[in-house]
Chain A
Amino acid sequence: MLSNLNFRATVLSLVMLVVFLGVWQLATAPDVLAPQQGELSEYERLMGGGTDRTSSSGIPAPTQVFSHAFSELSNPFYDAGPNDKGIGIQLAYSIYRVLLGFALAALIAIPLGFVIGMSPLLNKAFDPYIQILKPISPLAWMPLALFVIRDSNMSAIFVIFICSIWPMLVNTAYGVASVRNDWLNVAKTHQLSNLRTAFTVILPAAAPTILTGMRISIGIAWLVIVAAEMLVGGTGIGYYIWNEWNNLDLASVIFAIIMIGIVGFLLDASLAQATKFVRYAD
């Protein structure tokens, strides 16, 4: 029954993909019926006079994107100067920034969230700051970060840090604060020290909630890194997209978009996998 459902879902997914690619291919096919008019529009002149038209709309066909993706992926780590690096190198820069910023955030958010969750006083005292800082777009911090840190790479990492800290902080505090009283009584009646209670009762009890916060954080961090790299430039997948846009290489842009989706999915899936290890049925 279930495998049958899975099978049908897979078939439907493939049908949707084929239909989508088919429509895309047809929509971007060279316009044979209406050959080029004498006058070029202003846009076409800007685009290079339409001499190198790949399609009627300028958007590359899926076949072009795939052949481009194939050539990029067959040599992902080449480095031919600041404006020409392989997609693997660019993605590696982005992943490195996301993981570093995320790790720094986790290092602060999880212990701090633990303390806030254990203490109703601190919970109330921190709450207004968290509520006000949380909704700030992480990119709004960028100018301040650039001015204070004076390093574009570190500023990007700081932006990732500041956007990943809130979901982890809030979730950790919530998870710790809502540990069942029964389990805390177990710790008390067994005369566990505060430290042992924290590590052997509260941490495993709150771990699924904490990991959910980490999963939200890494998702946001991956969303933000693209925009941050567009701003700071130099390296990374966000810079790559912006650079290819400036080169008017839309096949590269579409290819990069797909790669961003795939890497984001993998980051999320790896944390989802980690959640399985700490999840418990009540």
Chain B
Amino acid sequence: MSKGFLEIENLSQRFPQPDSNDLLTVFEGVDVTIDKGEFVCLIGHSGCGKSTILNVLAGLATPTDGNVIMDNKEIKGPSLDQGVIFQNHSLLPWLTARDNVMFAVRARWPNWSKAKRREHAERYLHMVGLDDAMDRKPSQLSGGMRQRVGIARAFAIEPKLLLMDEPFGALDALTRGVIQEELLKIWSETHQTVFMITHDVDEAILLADRVLLMTNGPHAQVAESVKIDIPRPRTRATLHQEEAYYPIRNHLVDFLVEGAKVMSAKAQEAAARGDNPRHTPRIVNPARPEAEPEHSSQPGPRMVRAV
């Protein structure tokens, strides 16, 4: 097995329940590999543990089992190698937009002069189109602008891995579209490795190289890895004219409406039987179904017997 840039190995999360001695298994046996420079989106229903996986990658949560290796080093805690953009912007409200970014830049490169930090911060704020709002505090910015500052802050520290937890979930549809394109632009300039959680299928298709699909919890699994076989650069305006767009979209929506439930039931049966839950996601390319390595009418995650 070739080592990727980011290796998620046999990751499981179980929580104690208030009125039972049994642990609640949120997800288990997750094996995922992400390459350097890849943009990966994770989609799943609420409560399947998406955010927990992201927090583990960020080092903010500790998994019950398994580990995550990034660039041949195990992730043990939060660090500047992992940049995080949360849904609620999490900017420091007493600092201006520029100072918020400079705050992060200073943490990353403590030895830089103030002028250099400032120039670096302004470059990234410029990339997200906030030239005129640098001196404003978060309370004086719109929701979309705040999220842009968050994006600038995360990109400015040039992390090895950028994590985004539904970054546009709180924005209206118009603003969201604009910022998605800005994110694409800044990503195409920097080629960060990005891991992003979203609820929005179109957002995932627009942004991602690959979409990971999660079944419902408990005993959730990352069932499929769907390749988004649409050439870049992509734009929102022309995305739906792509030949591959509808097959991909239908596949994702079908999974979320039906597949997630069916597979979740199967995973729970398997868990009740005591099968080894460790699995790698099935690789799917809806744009070219004949190219699929394992074509099966019944979708289901591949079980890995031996560890």
Q: How far is the CA of A278 from the CA of B78 in the complex (A)?
A: 29
Contacting pair B107 A191 (CB below 8 A): yes
Enumerate A260-282 residues with CB–CB distance to B below 8 Å: 278, 280-282
The answer to whether A200 has its CB under 8 Å from any CB of chain B is yes
The answer to whether B137 has its CB under 8 Å from any CB of chain A is yes
The answer to whether A204 has its CB under 8 Å from any CB of chain B is yes
Partner of A189 from the list B58, B92, B137 (CB cut-off 8 Å) is: B58
Enumerate A66-115 residues with CB–CB distance to B below 8 Å: none
Segment touching A, from B41-49, B80-88, B183-191, B199-207: B80-88
Partner of A280 from the list B58, B93, B108, B157 (CB cut-off 8 Å) is: B93
Partner of B79 from the list A191, A201, A278, A281 (CB cut-off 8 Å) is: A191
Q: How many A-B residue pairs have CB under 8 A?
A: 53
Q: How distant is B160 from chain A, measured CB to nearest CB, in Å? A: 13
Encoded as 1 (CB less than 8 Å from any A CB) or 0, chain B from 129 to 162 comes to: 0000000010110000000000000000100000
Q: Quick one: given A192-B107, A280-B137, A281-B139, are A186 and B80 in contact (CB under 8 Å)?
A: no
Q: Size band of the A side of the interface?
A: 10 to 19
Contacting pair B139 A183 (CB below 8 A): no
CB-nearest residue of chain B relative to A181? Answer: B90
The prevalent SS among residues of A at the interface is helix
Q: How far is the CA of A186 from the CA of B60 in the complex (A)?
A: 11
Encoded as 1 (CB less than 8 Å from any A CB) or 0, chain B from 83 to 115 comes to: 110101010111000000001100110000000
Cβ–Cβ < 8 Å partners of B92 in chain A: 183, 186, 201, 204-205
Contacting pair A190 B93 (CB below 8 A): no
Contacting pair A185 B60 (CB below 8 A): yes
The answer to whether A45 has its CB under 8 Å from any CB of chain B is no
Enumerate B53-84 residues with CB–CB distance to A below 8 Å: 58-60, 77-80, 82-84
Contacting pair A189 B82 (CB below 8 A): yes
Q: Quick one: given A183-B92, A282-B139, are A190 and B60 in contact (CB under 8 Å)?
A: no
Cβ–Cβ < 8 Å partners of B94 in chain A: 204-205, 278, 280
Contacting pair A189 B83 (CB below 8 A): yes
Contacting pair A191 B90 (CB below 8 A): no
CB-nearest residue of chain A relative to B94? Answer: A280
Q: Quick one: given A185-B84, A200-B103, A282-B139, are A190 and B157 in contact (CB under 8 Å)?
A: yes
CB-nearest residue of chain A relative to B150? Answer: A186
Q: Quick one: given A190-B107, A191-B80, are A183 and B90 in contact (CB under 8 Å)?
A: yes
The number of residues on chain B lying at the interface, defined by a beta carbon within 8 Å of a beta carbon of chain A, is 24
Q: Quick one: given A185-B90, A188-B78, A189-B78, are A280 and B103 in contact (CB under 8 Å)?
A: no
Q: How far is the CA of A192 from the CA of B137 in the complex (A)?
A: 22
Q: How distant is B117 from chain A, measured CB to nearest CB, in Å? A: 13
Q: How far is the CA of A201 from the CA of B157 in the complex (A)?
A: 18
Q: Quick one: given A204-B92, A280-B139, are A182 and B80 in contact (CB under 8 Å)?
A: no
Contacting pair B137 A281 (CB below 8 A): yes
Cβ–Cβ < 8 Å partners of B84 in chain A: 185, 189
Q: How far is the CA of A189 from the CA of B140 in the complex (A)?
A: 25
CB-nearest residue of chain B relative to A280? Answer: B94
CB-nearest residue of chain B relative to A180? Answer: B90
Q: How distant is A176 from chain B, measured CB to nearest CB, in Å? A: 15
Q: How far is the CA of A200 from the CA of B95 in the complex (A)?
A: 10
Cβ–Cβ < 8 Å partners of A182 in chain B: 86, 88, 90
Enumerate A158-199 residues with CB–CB distance to B below 8 Å: 182-183, 185-186, 188-192
Q: How far is the CA of A205 from the CA of B94 in the complex (A)?
A: 8
Contacting pair A190 B80 (CB below 8 A): yes
CB-nearest residue of chain A relative to B77? Answer: A188
Cβ–Cβ < 8 Å partners of A278 in chain B: 94
CB-nearest residue of chain A relative to B154? Answer: A189
Contacting pair B60 A188 (CB below 8 A): yes
Contacting pair B93 A191 (CB below 8 A): no
Encoded as 1 (CB less than 8 Å from any A CB) or 0, chain B from 7 to 47 comes to: 00000000000000000000000000000000000000000
Partner of B90 from the list A186, A192, A200, A204 (CB cut-off 8 Å) is: A186
Enumerate A123-141 residues with CB–CB distance to B below 8 Å: none
Q: How distant is A208 from chain B, measured CB to nearest CB, in Å? A: 9
Q: Which 3 A-B pairs have the closest CB atoms?
A: A281-B139, A190-B107, A280-B94
Pairs across A and B, CB under 8 Å, 23 listed: A182-B88, A188-B77, A189-B60, A189-B79, A189-B80, A189-B82, A189-B84, A190-B80, A190-B103, A190-B104, A191-B78, A191-B80, A191-B107, A192-B107, A201-B92, A204-B92, A205-B92, A205-B94, A278-B94, A280-B93, A280-B94, A281-B93, A282-B139
Q: A185-B84, A189-B80, A280-B139 are in contact. List 17 more A-B contacts (CB 8 A).
A: A183-B92, A185-B60, A186-B90, A188-B59, A188-B77, A189-B58, A189-B78, A191-B78, A191-B79, A191-B80, A278-B94, A280-B94, A280-B137, A281-B93, A281-B139, A281-B140, A282-B139
